[in-house]
Amino acid sequence: MVESQQHQMYIQRAVDEADQAILAAQKAEHDLQSAVIKADPVLIQKAQAELGTAKRRITESYQQLNSFDPEKYGQQLKQTIGQTRQAIQDLDMSEEKVHTPKQVR
């Protein structure tokens, strides 16, 4: 029984980390959009770096969640996996929208 509770806690931590990664990804997308609106190359580069970090974090969370059997661990796990998958797709689209020149003056 203790082992089952520990496993549930591990899954809950993975779900919590994925939720935090999703929020970080949303913030990174918002920051990038703001930087583009301001047309500030320095802010755009900073936001793109933030976006890359968020993408790595969300990808790691997605992989960790997929190591669990969603059929066995319930709806919350399935929902979080779907949300992380969507966040990855959103980040990919945000990256594709913004291209900065190779040389920023």
In terms of residues, how long is the chain? Answer: 105
pLDDT tens, position by position, 56-93:
999 999 999 988 887 777 888 889 999 999 999 988 88
Q: Cβ neighbours of residue 21 under 8 Å, at least 6 residues apart?
A: 54, 57, 58, 60, 61, 84, 87
Q: How many domains in the chain?
A: 1
Residue 103 predicted with pLDDT over 60: no
The domain of 67 spans 10-91
Q: Is residue 81 part of a domain?
A: yes
Q: Tell me if 102 is assigned to some domain.
A: no
Nearest to 37 by CA among 103, 105, 98, 88: 98
pLDDT digits (tens, 9 = 90+) for 15-69: 999 999 999 999 999 999 999 899 888 999 999 999 999 999 999 999 999 888 8
Asked if residues 55 and 88 have their Cβ atoms less than 8 Å apart, the reply is yes
Q: Report if pTM > 0.85.
A: no
Residue 27 lies in a domain: yes
